[in-house]
Homo-oligomer: A and B are copies of this chain.
């Protein structure tokens, strides 16, 4: 197993450099990566453990030894996903230079690239929280939004906003709202429209005057 010829599986272990075929840590990472995609595509409760193991390419015993429970796997998947997405957005902002407006625009440009992917199915954290009425999942989702908020608050503060945390909350709504609209209505240009709105809010907050 863990070789590379199959059609109905994700071949994430391809770059294995030969040798040490049985490496528990690598097996765990491969399960995590493949399960992330499958669970995102099908929904947490939309696929059973048996079929999930087939798609991932491991036996049930292996999956259960590494993650103990389906909920344990879901928890690990969501944590990894939250980390990855947050780092990806922060990197996009950082790569845009020092101008806070440019950084904010870069965040939405990154989101638009995500929306345009054929596999895009909305925010995995929100989908999970909407399905699984488990406290652990809801807590992870809230923490995920906290991380977004932290990123946006930094941008708002550097832009000289009068109320950085208030503004960042509005920007967070644009981020999540754009994701919802892209997932459930029309992904074309969703983040681009949200970007324009975000920049309008940013400039209005940085140059306080009449806004309400």
Check if A211 sits within 8 Å of B193, measured CB to CB: no
The interface bits of chain A over 113-151 (1 if a CB of B lies within 8 angstroms of the residue's CB, else 0) are: 000000000100011011101000010011001100100
- Report the separation of the CA atoms of residues A14 and B199 in the bound assembly, to the nearest whole angstrom: 52
Question: Quick one: copies of this chain in the complex?
Answer: 2
Name the B residues within 8 Å of A66 (CB-CB).
Answer: none
- Report the separation of the CA atoms of residues A80 and B149 in the bound assembly, to the nearest whole angstrom: 35
Residue in A141, A173, A181, A193 with the greatest tally of chain B CB atoms within 10 Å: A173
Contact of A133 among B46, B184, B204 (CB under 8 A): B46
Check if A169 sits within 8 Å of B181, measured CB to CB: yes
Instruction: With A46-B133, A172-B177 as known contacts, state yes or no: A200 contacts B211, CB within 8 Å.
Output: yes
Q: Which of A158-196 contact B (CB under 8 A)?
A: 166, 169-170, 172-178, 180-181, 184-185, 190, 193-194, 196
14 A-B interface contacts by CB (under 8 A): A43-B133, A131-B131, A138-B184, A145-B181, A170-B196, A172-B181, A173-B177, A173-B180, A173-B190, A173-B194, A176-B177, A176-B181, A180-B180, A199-B211
**Extra contacts besides A138-B184, A177-B180 (16): CB < 8 Å:** A42-B133, A43-B131, A46-B133, A126-B184, A145-B185, A149-B185, A166-B193, A169-B181, A170-B197, A172-B181, A173-B173, A173-B177, A175-B177, A177-B178, A199-B211, A201-B201
